[in-house]
Protein backbone atom coordinates (compact mmCIF):
# COMPACT_ATOMS: atom_id res chain seq x y z
CA UNK A 1 0.00 0.00 0.00
CA UNK A 2 1.16 3.49 -0.78
CA UNK A 3 0.10 6.79 0.70
CA UNK A 4 -0.99 9.93 -1.10
CA UNK A 5 2.60 10.82 -1.94
CA UNK A 6 3.32 7.43 -3.40
CA UNK A 7 5.38 6.16 -0.47
CA UNK A 8 5.00 2.60 0.63
CA UNK A 9 3.10 2.78 3.92
CA UNK A 10 5.08 2.10 7.06
CA UNK A 11 4.52 -1.39 8.42
CA UNK A 12 5.41 -2.49 11.93
CA UNK A 13 5.26 -6.21 12.69
CA UNK A 14 4.85 -5.98 16.42
CA UNK A 15 5.10 -9.01 18.66
CA UNK A 16 3.87 -8.28 22.17
CA UNK A 17 6.54 -9.30 24.65
CA UNK A 18 7.90 -8.31 28.04
CA UNK A 19 9.86 -5.08 28.41
CA UNK A 20 13.51 -5.10 27.38
CA UNK A 21 15.90 -5.18 30.34
CA UNK A 22 19.54 -4.71 31.24
CA UNK A 23 22.00 -1.92 32.01
CA UNK A 24 21.78 -0.48 28.48
CA UNK A 25 18.02 -0.02 28.82
CA UNK A 26 18.51 1.58 32.24
CA UNK A 27 20.98 4.06 30.72
CA UNK A 28 18.59 4.87 27.88
CA UNK A 29 15.75 5.49 30.31
CA UNK A 30 17.91 7.89 32.30
CA UNK A 31 18.94 9.86 29.21
CA UNK A 32 15.42 9.82 27.78
CA UNK A 33 13.92 11.18 30.98
CA UNK A 34 16.60 13.86 31.19
CA UNK A 35 15.83 14.99 27.63
CA UNK A 36 12.10 14.89 28.42
CA UNK A 37 12.75 17.23 31.33
CA UNK A 38 14.55 19.63 28.97
CA UNK A 39 11.68 19.53 26.46
CA UNK A 40 13.80 17.95 23.71
CA UNK A 41 11.49 14.94 23.88
CA UNK A 42 7.85 15.62 24.60
CA UNK A 43 4.40 16.10 23.23
CA UNK A 44 2.74 18.88 21.22
CA UNK A 45 -0.52 20.43 22.34
CA UNK A 46 -2.29 18.31 19.70
CA UNK A 47 -1.18 15.17 21.53
CA UNK A 48 1.48 14.04 19.07
CA UNK A 49 4.66 12.93 20.82
CA UNK A 50 8.15 13.64 19.53
CA UNK A 51 11.70 12.43 20.12
CA UNK A 52 13.11 8.95 20.64
CA UNK A 53 16.29 7.29 21.89
CA UNK A 54 17.83 3.94 20.99
CA UNK A 55 20.82 1.73 21.70
CA UNK A 56 22.36 -0.97 19.55
CA UNK A 57 22.23 -4.49 20.93
CA UNK A 58 25.04 -6.99 20.52
CA UNK A 59 24.49 -8.99 17.38
CA UNK A 60 21.86 -7.07 15.47
CA UNK A 61 18.88 -4.97 16.32
CA UNK A 62 18.41 -2.16 18.78
CA UNK A 63 16.18 -1.12 21.63
CA UNK A 64 14.18 2.09 21.18
CA UNK A 65 11.53 4.14 22.96
CA UNK A 66 8.17 3.22 21.49
CA UNK A 67 5.64 5.12 19.44
CA UNK A 68 3.46 7.68 21.24
CA UNK A 69 5.60 7.69 24.38
CA UNK A 70 6.81 11.29 24.05
CA UNK A 71 4.16 12.52 26.45
CA UNK A 72 5.22 10.21 29.25
CA UNK A 73 6.95 12.28 31.94
CA UNK A 74 8.94 9.48 33.51
CA UNK A 75 9.44 6.54 31.16
CA UNK A 76 10.31 3.01 32.26
CA UNK A 77 11.31 -0.19 30.44
CA UNK A 78 7.62 -0.68 29.54
CA UNK A 79 7.96 2.26 27.13
CA UNK A 80 10.76 0.57 25.16
CA UNK A 81 10.77 -2.09 22.48
CA UNK A 82 13.36 -4.15 20.63
CA UNK A 83 13.63 -3.69 16.88
CA UNK A 84 14.71 -7.11 15.61
CA UNK A 85 14.80 -6.31 11.91
CA UNK A 86 14.40 -3.25 9.72
CA UNK A 87 13.94 -3.03 5.96
CA UNK A 88 14.20 0.55 4.74
CA UNK A 89 13.27 -0.22 1.13
CA UNK A 90 10.09 -1.97 2.29
CA UNK A 91 9.43 0.74 4.93
CA UNK A 92 8.96 -2.04 7.43
CA UNK A 93 10.36 -3.36 10.66
CA UNK A 94 9.75 -6.04 13.21
CA UNK A 95 9.78 -5.38 16.94
CA UNK A 96 9.10 -7.21 20.19
CA UNK A 97 8.11 -5.53 23.41
CA UNK A 98 5.24 -3.93 25.32
CA UNK A 99 4.96 -1.04 22.80
CA UNK A 100 5.28 -0.75 19.01
CA UNK A 101 8.17 1.07 17.32
CA UNK A 102 7.46 4.28 15.39
CA UNK A 103 8.24 4.91 11.72
CA UNK A 104 11.18 7.06 12.88
CA UNK A 105 12.85 3.85 14.03
CA UNK A 106 13.95 3.41 10.42
CA UNK A 107 15.97 6.62 10.75
CA UNK A 108 17.73 5.06 13.73
CA UNK A 109 18.28 1.87 11.74
CA UNK A 110 19.89 3.96 8.99
CA UNK A 111 22.41 5.39 11.44
CA UNK A 112 23.34 1.96 12.80
CA UNK A 113 23.63 0.61 9.27
CA UNK A 114 25.90 3.38 8.01
CA UNK A 115 27.94 4.04 11.17
CA UNK A 116 29.39 0.86 12.69
CA UNK A 117 30.74 2.79 15.69
CA UNK A 118 27.34 4.14 16.69
CA UNK A 119 26.07 2.51 19.87
CA UNK A 120 23.33 5.04 20.64
CA UNK A 121 21.10 7.29 18.55
CA UNK A 122 19.07 10.19 19.95
CA UNK A 123 16.39 12.03 17.99
CA UNK A 124 14.96 15.26 19.37
CA UNK A 125 12.86 18.19 18.21
CA UNK A 126 13.98 21.75 18.83
CA UNK A 127 13.07 24.62 16.56
CA UNK A 128 15.84 27.01 17.53
CA UNK A 129 18.60 24.41 17.15
CA UNK A 130 17.09 23.24 13.89
CA UNK A 131 16.99 26.76 12.47
CA UNK A 132 20.44 27.74 13.66
CA UNK A 133 22.26 24.53 12.80
CA UNK A 134 20.57 23.71 9.49
CA UNK A 135 23.28 24.00 6.85
CA UNK A 136 25.92 24.80 9.51
CA UNK A 137 26.06 21.12 10.53
CA UNK A 138 25.67 18.22 8.10
CA UNK A 139 22.02 18.37 7.02
CA UNK A 140 19.92 15.75 5.24
CA UNK A 141 18.25 16.45 1.90
CA UNK A 142 15.32 18.81 2.57
CA UNK A 143 13.15 16.75 0.21
CA UNK A 144 13.32 13.75 2.58
CA UNK A 145 10.50 13.88 5.14
CA UNK A 146 10.31 12.55 8.68
CA UNK A 147 9.86 8.83 9.14
CA UNK A 148 10.12 7.95 5.45
CA UNK A 149 12.43 5.59 3.55
CA UNK A 150 13.70 8.73 1.79
CA UNK A 151 14.83 10.10 5.17
CA UNK A 152 16.60 6.83 6.00
CA UNK A 153 18.37 6.95 2.64
CA UNK A 154 19.30 10.62 3.13
CA UNK A 155 20.77 9.79 6.54
CA UNK A 156 22.87 6.99 5.05
CA UNK A 157 24.17 9.35 2.34
CA UNK A 158 25.03 11.98 4.94
CA UNK A 159 26.87 9.55 7.22
CA UNK A 160 28.89 8.14 4.35
CA UNK A 161 30.01 11.70 3.58
CA UNK A 162 30.94 12.11 7.25
CA UNK A 163 29.32 13.58 10.36
CA UNK A 164 32.38 14.40 12.48
CA UNK A 165 30.56 15.81 15.52
CA UNK A 166 28.03 12.99 15.72
CA UNK A 167 25.21 15.48 15.31
CA UNK A 168 23.21 16.30 12.20
CA UNK A 169 20.11 18.19 11.18
CA UNK A 170 17.16 16.54 9.44
CA UNK A 171 16.62 19.05 6.66
CA UNK A 172 13.16 17.86 5.63
CA UNK A 173 11.93 17.27 9.18
CA UNK A 174 11.16 20.63 10.79
CA UNK A 175 12.67 20.77 14.31
CA UNK A 176 14.34 17.35 13.87
CA UNK A 177 17.96 16.64 14.84
CA UNK A 178 19.86 13.41 15.47
CA UNK A 179 22.90 12.69 17.59
CA UNK A 180 24.84 9.45 17.84
CA UNK A 181 27.82 8.19 19.76
CA UNK A 182 29.68 5.07 20.82
CA UNK A 183 27.91 5.29 24.17
CA UNK A 184 24.68 6.78 25.43
CA UNK A 185 26.66 9.36 27.40
CA UNK A 186 28.68 10.39 24.35
CA UNK A 187 25.60 10.84 22.16
CA UNK A 188 23.85 12.82 24.87
CA UNK A 189 26.87 15.07 25.45
CA UNK A 190 27.20 15.80 21.75
CA UNK A 191 23.58 16.86 21.63
CA UNK A 192 23.58 18.87 24.83
CA UNK A 193 26.79 20.72 23.95
CA UNK A 194 25.03 22.12 20.87
CA UNK A 195 21.80 22.62 22.80
CA UNK A 196 23.45 24.67 25.53
CA UNK A 197 24.94 26.98 22.87
CA UNK A 198 21.69 27.62 21.06
CA UNK A 199 18.88 26.84 23.42
CA UNK A 200 19.76 28.64 26.60
CA UNK A 201 17.96 31.67 25.19
CA UNK A 202 14.67 29.80 24.96
CA UNK A 203 12.81 26.60 24.28
CA UNK A 204 11.66 27.04 20.73
CA UNK A 205 8.83 24.78 19.75
CA UNK A 206 6.63 26.08 17.00
CA UNK A 207 3.11 25.17 16.12
CA UNK A 208 2.30 21.49 16.33
CA UNK A 209 2.94 19.36 13.29
CA UNK A 210 3.28 15.73 12.52
CA UNK A 211 4.84 13.39 13.20
Instruction: For the CB of residue 96, give the shortest distance to Zn ion in the complex, in Å.
Output: 23
- Closest to Zn ion by CB, 15 or 203: 203
First to last CA, the chain: 19
Instruction: For the CB of residue 203, give the shortest distance to Zn ion in the complex, in Å.
Output: 16
- Closest to Zn ion by CB, 58 or 210: 210
Burial of 167 (0-12, 13-18, 19+ CB in 10 A): buried
Instruction: For the CB of residue 145, give the shortest distance to Zn ion in the complex, in Å.
Output: 10
Residue 102 DSSP label: P
- Closest to Zn ion by CB, 20 or 176: 176
Instruction: For the CB of residue 25, give the shortest distance to Zn ion in the complex, in Å.
Output: 21
CA distances for 101 relative to 15, 41, 66, 202, angstroms: 11, 16, 5, 30
- Closest to Zn ion by CB, 176 or 181: 176
Beta strands in the chain (DSSP E): 11-16, 42-43, 49-50, 52-56, 62-65, 80-87, 92-97, 120-125, 167-169, 176-181
Side-chain-side CA neighbours of 150 within 13 Å: the count stands at 15
- Closest to Zn ion by CB, 22 or 208: 208
Residues forming a β-bridge with 176: 125
Burial of 5 (0-12, 13-18, 19+ CB in 10 A): exposed
Residue nearest Zn ion (C-beta atom)? 176
Instruction: For the CB of residue 92, give the shortest distance to Zn ion in the complex, in Å.
Output: 19
The footprint of Zn ion (CB under 5 A) covers 176
Amino acid sequence: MTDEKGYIQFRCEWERASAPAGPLVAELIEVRNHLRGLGLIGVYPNGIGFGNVSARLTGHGFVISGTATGGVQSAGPEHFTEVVWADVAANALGCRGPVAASSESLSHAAVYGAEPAAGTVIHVHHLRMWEELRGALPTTDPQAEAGTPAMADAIAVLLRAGVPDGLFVMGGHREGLMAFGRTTIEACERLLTAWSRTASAGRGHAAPHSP
